[in-house]
Chains A and B, each alone.
Chain A
Amino acid sequence: MSETMSNTTQPIVRMQQLNKHFGSLHVLNDIDLTIVPGEVVVIIGASGSGKSTLIRCINGLEEFQSGSLVVDSNELLPHGKSTQALQTIRTEVGMVFQQFNLFPHLSVIDNVTLAPMKVRGLSRDDAVSNAKRLLDRVGIADQADKYPSQLSGGQQQRVALARALAMEPRLMLFDEPTSALDPEMIGEVLDAMRELAKEGMTMVIVTHEMGFAREVADRVIFIHKGEITEQGHPEKLFDSPQHERTQSFLARVLKH
């Protein structure tokens, strides 16, 4: 899909000195972050630390005030002043939200085919067969004609994943994908994400599921008060965190 001659060593996300303020609140403070194709990055941190805001900057759902951000060779400018690049980035970057955000007035299959038909210009037949293949892959092929409200939370989130994948993204963002789910449904969503990681998808995941992070992440990033405090391989970061804040955060979340 990509029109650029990107080789594999070229980063898919390059964030340099990124700053974001909400009024007087400094939400992101000089963030430097480079992600290469195929990498699975998990971002952890306390609520309000800025981790969701960080990934929402990558597809322009949040504007930033200064710094530079290049996603898949498209440069995003501060203050949201890059409409064309933004449009391109959003077709290449998929996102799964905490609240699923499925379209309640559309059936499952129409949720998945909408963007490929309207943005990629696929015919209905192509979009539908593609959508069915994706729904089958996340284990809900038999629910295609139902409406979102007729599905469980876990099923809805898997539809949301299929919907994002239907655009054949080069990068997937996950914003606390299991935080709104009942405990018994978390596993099915994590399974689908695990499959995706195995297939080589580049993923940036904000989550509180530390076991999952340890298992699938190539790199774990700990954010505290809008700054990257520490990052590294999951085993290193979880087993021997260097920074005191990382230690106290992990002590709190790993206790139960």
Chain B
Amino acid sequence: MDVNFQFDWSAAFGSIPYLLPGIPWTLLISFGGLAIGFFIGIFFGLLRISRLRWLRWPAIVYVEVFRGTPILVQVLFIFYGLPQLLGSPINALVAGIAAIAVNSGAYISEIVRGGVQSIERGQGEASLSLGLSRTQAFRYVIWPQAFRRMIPPLGNQGIISIKDTSLFSVIGVGELVRQGQIYIATTFTALEVYFMVALMYLAITWTLSIILRQLEIRGLAGQ
């Protein structure tokens, strides 16, 4: 092996046209999964803080199961395991979106719970003392404040989930890493191509960070 290996910029740039088609897949799996995960998270997060014990425990079980097992195992289970149960194959894209959804949903439900529980007790008491029902107090007073506090951890989870989609190359969905692997198989330029793959992830996550920072600034301006 040549120890004086040089980074071949032309190989790096040359890979771009082959990598770019992976970006829409990465975005589709990430944001598709996160959108569903957001609703799963709100659902189980609210169950988790219910006053009724029998509503709380399904949420606890959900979080423990999907937070406590690797997302790689989850997607393999969905893509290879579930078809045996269902008797029909599952599309790789669907499997990827489902894995992000159930996995991020577990973390988001904890974010929702933490956000709601962080609101001072006096806010609910003031609402009730004005005659608002519990539902109205939640909708108009608690939730808007909790949601603002949830934005930073939600952004964090979004970035983690985007990076998690890289694992889905194992089920053959044509996202960024998969595209890179296919390209490297013919060119043997792993250094340059994975460098470019990393840059593309960075471009996506950095853009998201900037958008989130703007959202936070706008959210706090009112307070």
Residues of A within 8 A of B (CB): 59-61, 87, 90-91, 93-95, 97, 99, 101-105, 114-115, 118-119, 147, 149, 160, 163-164, 167, 173
CB-nearest residue of chain B relative to A56? Answer: B125
CB contacts between A and B, total, < 8 Å: 65
* Other 8 A-B pairs with CB < 8 A, given A94-B130, A115-B132, A167-B130: A90-B130, A91-B131, A97-B122, A103-B126, A105-B222, A115-B130, A115-B131, A163-B130
Complex CA–CA separation, A20 to B29 (angstroms) = 55
Complex CA–CA separation, A90 to B124 (angstroms) = 13
- Can you name 24 A-B pairs with beta carbons within 8 Å? A59-B129, A61-B125, A61-B129, A90-B128, A90-B130, A91-B131, A94-B129, A95-B126, A95-B129, A97-B122, A97-B125, A101-B122, A102-B126, A105-B144, A105-B223, A114-B130, A114-B140, A115-B131, A118-B136, A118-B140, A119-B132, A149-B223, A164-B130, A173-B129
| Set of chain A residues within 8 Å of B127, measured between Cβ atoms | 103
CB distance from B100 to the nearest CB of A (A): 30
B125 touches A119 (CB 8 A): no
Contact of A104 with B128 at beta-carbon distance under 8 Å, contacts A97-B122, A114-B140, A118-B136 already known: no
| Set of chain A residues within 8 Å of B128, measured between Cβ atoms | 60-61, 90
CB-nearest residue of chain A relative to B148? Answer: A105
| Set of chain A residues within 8 Å of B145, measured between Cβ atoms | 103-105
| Set of chain A residues within 8 Å of B133, measured between Cβ atoms | 87
The answer to whether the Cβ of B27 comes within 8 Å of any Cβ in the partner chain is no
Complex CA–CA separation, A202 to B144 (angstroms) = 34
Residues of B within 8 A of A (CB): 120, 122-123, 125-133, 136, 140-141, 144-145, 148, 222-223
Complex CA–CA separation, A60 to B223 (angstroms) = 30
| Set of chain B residues within 8 Å of A104, measured between Cβ atoms | 145, 223
Complex CA–CA separation, A105 to B132 (angstroms) = 17
- Top 10 A-B pairs, shortest CB-CB distance: A91-B131, A101-B126, A115-B130, A101-B122, A95-B129, A119-B131, A90-B131, A105-B144, A105-B145, A104-B223
| Set of chain A residues within 8 Å of B122, measured between Cβ atoms | 97, 99, 101
| Set of chain A residues within 8 Å of B126, measured between Cβ atoms | 95, 97, 101-103, 160
CB distance from A160 to the nearest CB of B (A): 8
| Set of chain A residues within 8 Å of B140, measured between Cβ atoms | 114, 118
Complex CA–CA separation, A99 to B123 (angstroms) = 10
| Set of chain B residues within 8 Å of A149, measured between Cβ atoms | 223
CB distance from A141 to the nearest CB of B (A): 21
B132 touches A118 (CB 8 A): yes
A101 touches B130 (CB 8 A): no
CB-nearest residue of chain A relative to B139? Answer: A118
Complex CA–CA separation, A147 to B123 (angstroms) = 15
Contact of A101 with B131 at beta-carbon distance under 8 Å, contacts A114-B140, A147-B223, A149-B223 already known: no
CB distance from B216 to the nearest CB of A (A): 14
| Set of chain B residues within 8 Å of A90, measured between Cβ atoms | 128-131
A103 touches B123 (CB 8 A): yes
CB-nearest residue of chain B relative to A115? Answer: B130
Which of A94, A104, A105, A160 has most chain B Cβ within 10 Å? A105
B222 touches A167 (CB 8 A): no
CB distance from A127 to the nearest CB of B (A): 13
CB-nearest residue of chain B relative to A114? Answer: B140
CB-nearest residue of chain A relative to B145? Answer: A105
Complex CA–CA separation, A147 to B223 (angstroms) = 6
| Set of chain B residues within 8 Å of A160, measured between Cβ atoms | 126
Which of A60, A61, A147 has most chain B Cβ within 10 Å? A61
CB distance from A124 to the nearest CB of B (A): 14
Which of B126, B133, B136, B144 has most chain A Cβ within 10 Å? B126
Complex CA–CA separation, A115 to B140 (angstroms) = 10
Complex CA–CA separation, A102 to B129 (angstroms) = 12
| Set of chain A residues within 8 Å of B222, measured between Cβ atoms | 105, 147
B223 touches A119 (CB 8 A): no
Complex CA–CA separation, A149 to B223 (angstroms) = 6
Complex CA–CA separation, A35 to B145 (angstroms) = 37
Complex CA–CA separation, A70 to B22 (angstroms) = 69
Complex CA–CA separation, A29 to B120 (angstroms) = 29
| Set of chain B residues within 8 Å of A115, measured between Cβ atoms | 130-132
Contact of A87 with B131 at beta-carbon distance under 8 Å, contacts A105-B145, A114-B140, A149-B223 already known: yes
